[in-house]
Structure 1
Amino acid sequence: MIFNFGNLEHESVNPMTTNLIFTVPLTQQQRQVATSCSQRYSNSAKAKRIYRQVLALYAVHFYTDCMGITTDVTASGFCHPIEQLLADVAELPIPGLAGLECVLVEPAIANLDLVYNHPKTLTVQTSSEALNNRLGYVAVGFSPTEEEAYLLGFRKTLSSELTTLDNWQSLERLFVVLKNALTPTSLICLRDWFADQFTPDWEPLSAEFMTQDTAQVAAIAFRTPSTQPTIQRAKRLQFSDGHTIALEVGVYPLSDEEIDVRVRLIPPLGAALPSDLSLMILDDMDTVIMQTQARGTSVLRLEFSVEPEEVFKLKLQRNTVSLVETFSF
């Protein structure tokens, strides 16, 4: 594998002042799985990269498991040949959040003094496909025999496919990012929407989701006439397997004491909702009030009324991955 050192990224990221290195012994079974996945590829360089990516996923999964962080290694898709052929990624999904990209370090590390004293000689390479929609990036190196993996650093973002290890932060930084990501989202007050006060992630529905079906549904009036207009905002969501959807919330005043709320999950133009996608309405005690599942439908819809001070939650569920948004009126 040839590296073009002229294209290496040099960002100001407060590089590591102390190196936290986490060593993970790799089992024979894990190496056998990695071998099985890599043997699907006739290109030796691609096969070698797949082999090491699988081991990197196992290593980061072991580390997060030790730290009490739930990750779903079975959902990473590392042994799906079509996925790996089309996208050179090693993403470890975290239920309810974006995934961690496991980024390979070159060359093999025969002595850890190399990490401590010469991090500029260690190159970290990812792919263009992995530069977006990640919670963060973990740099993973290997011993020459690949019987051990070394977790060497963390980055929250990357803007280039090639970096050197001296531009990475300590692995401890991962927990700061996770803590912020796992902090419950603030309550979304729908009364603010009537005053045209919206958070930046809630926007008018993007054109990529405006199919004929959604346009027709958007024009349908609510149950009771009102002189006040409908207010609709949408949030773009992307799952770790690449599926993108819009979560749209529409509010309509029925009276001073009640509003109608309509929720829709909409796929992009020409796409379908994931068949395992469920939408649930929860009360403030997390009791399920309403629910529906995609099952081949083009758009999921739920409609209900809300009274003042009432709190409700929208929960999107896909297997082990879930997302919750909390609202009040």
Structure 2
Amino acid sequence: MNGFNHSSTFTAPLGASVHRRAQQFCNQHSDRQKAQQVYLNTLAVCAVQFYLRCMEIETEQDTSDSWNPVMQALMDVADLTIPGVGKVECRPVWPDASVMQIPPEDWAERIGYVAVQLEPSLRHATVLGFALSAGTGEVPIHELRSLDDFLNHLQQLQSRVSLSQWLQGMVAAGWRSLDDLIGIPQPLILSFRNDAALSEITVRRAKLLNLGLQFEQQAVVLLVAVTPDIEPMLGISIQLHPAAGETYLPVDLSLKLLTETGAVLQQVRSRSVCPGELRSQDNYIQLKRFRGTAGERFDVQIAINDTKITESFTI
């Protein structure tokens, strides 16, 4: 185990049904090396799926590339979909391995990389730990993070809105299309739709946010647009608009882009018409368009006086 702590690992059985599934996939590939690769990848995926089921975490094999013979043939893939969270890559390793190898085709669109040690008999597999990123494609086994950290990572992601999933047609509760969200002035909707930086494949969603009693339940609308950029990047645009018949935003309303640790990356604030005026001259404010890759996390904070609303995202 190369110094890895046994108490922090999980051993899963590789029963007859698992091997039947692996053999079914294996039989669809005439190249012997590819067939063996698919067989071992399937065992690793099944081991992680068993572990997650024991932790009462739902998984979906049918939406995973590792369960698609066409994708198996094209790539060295061992992903497992966790609904509402993303895809985790399950990489098989042998007992004498010192590193977890991650092929370049698996470096994007993954929420983590799990090392699965296969016993030579292939009767059991041990889930060793995970890495947040692929790095250079080789992750030392002794540098893997614990399975407790893995579960905490999944829990944090479940509370975040996945923008990559928007492009796949899966949108988190509370986020609606611009047409569905009544109260946004139509000219502002049109300006967001017609933004030159966006494209026909851009997904735009809106969420109504209540500023609370201090502002007589006045609401604002957070608009987010996601556009595929140069692979594997996504372009992200964020605007804040008034809602429910209001023409302008409240004065001194801030919109911030934060790292997941709270550091401010961008900040913009609504301006007053004149000193002491509560009505701003801005009918919307926006952050500069930015780009990110799958798995990156950030927060958007809307604040005015003592009221703060934070929305958490993962790309």
Normalising by the smaller structure, the TM-score range is 0.5 to 0.7
For 1:91-240, list aligned pairs within 5 A. 91-105=79-93, 107=94, 109=95, 121-183=97-159, 207=197, 210-211=199-200, 233-236=224-227
2: CA distance, partners of 1:30 / 1:126: 23
- RCO higher in 1 or 2 (8 Å CA, sep ≥ 6)? 1
Conserved 8 A contact 2:9-2:126: yes
Distance 1:248 1:93 in 2: 28
- Which of 246, 251, 257 aligns to 1:256? It is 246
Distance, in Å, in 2 between the alignment partners of 1:17 and 1:206 is 53
Deviation, 1:163, is 2.5
Q: Which region of structure 1 is more displaced relative to structure 2, 146-155 or 246-255?
A: 246-255
Unmatched 5+ stretches in structure 1: 1-14, 115-120, 195-201, 215-229, 260-323
Is this contact kept in 1: 2:26–2:38, CA < 8 A?
yes
- Sequence identity percentage: 26
Structure 1 counterpart of 2:15, from 10, 17, 27: 27
1:35 alignment partner AA: Q
Structure 2 unaligned blocks of 5 or more: 162-173, 176-180, 186-191, 203-220, 250-311
CA 205–93 in structure 1, closer or farther in 2 if over 3 Å, else same: farther
The match for 1:58 among 46, 56, 61 is: 46
| Residues 77, 250 of structure 1: alpha-carbon distance in 2 compared, 3 angstrom cutoff | same
Q: CA separation in 1, counterparts of 2:123 and 2:144?
A: 24
Among residues 88, 95, 102, which one is paired with 2:76 in the alignment? Answer: 88
1:74 corresponds to: 62
| Whole-Å separation in 2 of the counterparts to 1:180 and 1:48 | 35
Kept in 2, the 8 Å contact 1:154–1:169? The answer is: yes
Give the whole-Å Cα distance in 2 for the aligned partners of 1:237 and 1:99: 18
Q: Which amino acid aligns with 1:146?
A: L
**Cα separation, 2, equivalents of 1:206 and 1:60:** 43
Change in Cα spacing, 1:33 to 1:249, as seen in structure 2 (3 Å) is farther
What amino acid is the match of 2:110? R
How many Å separate the matches in 2 of 1:29 and 1:68? 21
Rounded Cα–Cα distance in structure 2 between residues aligned with 1:61 and 1:179: 16
Paired residue type of 2:104: S
Q: How does the TM-score come out when normalised to structure 1?
A: 0.51
Quick one: which of 38, 41, 54 aligns to 2:26?
38
Equivalent-residue separation in structure 2 for 1:122 and 1:253 (angstroms):
56
Cα gap change, 1:18 to 1:99, in 2 (>3 Å): same
Aligned length: 204
Give the direction of change, closer, same or farther, for the CA distance of 1:132–1:205 in structure 2 (3 Å limit): farther
Measured on the aligned residues, the alpha-carbon RMSD in Å equals 4.4
Q: CA deviation at 1:21?
A: 1.8
* Alpha-carbon distance between aligned partners in 2 of 1:210 and 1:72, rounded to the nearest angstrom: 31
> What is the distance in 2 between the residues matched to 1:177 and 1:231?
26
Residues 29 and 18 (structure 1 numbering): CA distance in 2 closer, same or farther, change over 3 Å? closer
SS in 1 for 2:71: helix
Q: Which one-letter code corresponds to 1:171 in the other structure?
A: L
Give the Å deviation of 1:181.
Answer: 1.1
Inter-partner Cα distance in structure 1 for 2:8 and 2:74: 34
Counterparts in 2 of 1:41 and 1:122: CA distance versus 1, 3 Å = same
Distance 1:236 1:30, change over 3 A: same
Q: What TM-score comes out, normalization by structure 2 length?
A: 0.53
Distance 1:25 1:134, change over 3 A: same
2:37 touches 2:76 (CA, 8 Å); kept in 1? Answer: no
